[in-house]
Amino acid sequence: MAELAGVFAASHGPLIVRGWDGIPSRWQESLAAGYAELGRRMKAARADALVVISPDHWVNFFIDNLPSICVGVGETHAGPPEPWLKAFPHRTIAGHPALASHIVATALGRDFDPSVSHRLALDHGFCIPLWKAGIDPLPPIVPVTFNDIEPPLPSVKRCYGFGEMLAAAIASCPEPLRVAVLATGGLSHSIGEPTMGRIDEDFDRACIGHFEAGDPAKLIGFLDEELPNAGNGSAEIRNWVAAHGAAGGRGFELIGYAPVPEVYVGCGFASWKI
């Protein structure tokens, strides 16, 4: 049977790569340290497969076809299409169709209705954390896209439930795999809005506190109330909530937090107690 080897989260702002030279050295050091420690912990988990939860940034889907949740079940996935990620070392990324199909079957059995894709393109949301954390060679990846982009968005409670389902799917997978989960995105940021560039540090620190405390009901209540006011990009915290569900609502350990104006994002890195 498979086992849950680790649960992790990291931010993925594009300017962390394409605007790196414009980031002040103190923030470069904070970001580099956060990714390095994340990578160390992920490597220590010795995962045979990695489930990565991230939004799709209009690469695979658009408003004419926008699933709330999509699971990539293919043998392979395409590497990032963004031209500024051309140095990313993987043009093709191995999938794990057996694990992915088991996750889909478990989801359907628990009244979730995810879409499926046999070949996703994994954009910067998936690839920046893996690259910056130094995860190479990459384990086979099961990509899961959440719609964090365009309303209607899945509820925070639903995302937590999906994470619980994901843990059950991993535990019931018949292959003897070590499976890790990585949620990417967040924390507070605003893109394409009048408040673009604003980082809500008070919200971020309160959000981190709820994740550290571990109480799912209080976390969900806090986010239901405050998330709509923290910038549209903050919706990506739903991915972290799914990771929280996968970890059974146990508190996480904050690896680092850096509110970096030059990348427009309150950048966070964390791992859960499992």
Q: What is the pLDDT of residues 97-137, one digit of tens each?
A: 999 999 999 999 999 999 999 999 999 999 999 999 999 99
Number of domains in the chain: 1
What is the residue range of 86's domain?
Answer: 3-272
pLDDT at 102: 98
Q: Rounded CA gap, 122 and 109, in Å? A: 27
Q: Across all residues in the chain, what is the average pLDDT?
A: 96
CATH number for the domain harbouring residue 229: 3.40.830.10
pLDDT at 4: 98
pTM over 0.85: yes
pLDDT digits (tens, 9 = 90+) for 169-220: 999 999 999 999 999 999 999 987 888 889 999 999 999 999 999 999 999 9
From 153, 163, 74, select the one nearest 121 (Cα to Cα). 74
Q: Rounded CA gap, 127 and 136, in Å? A: 12
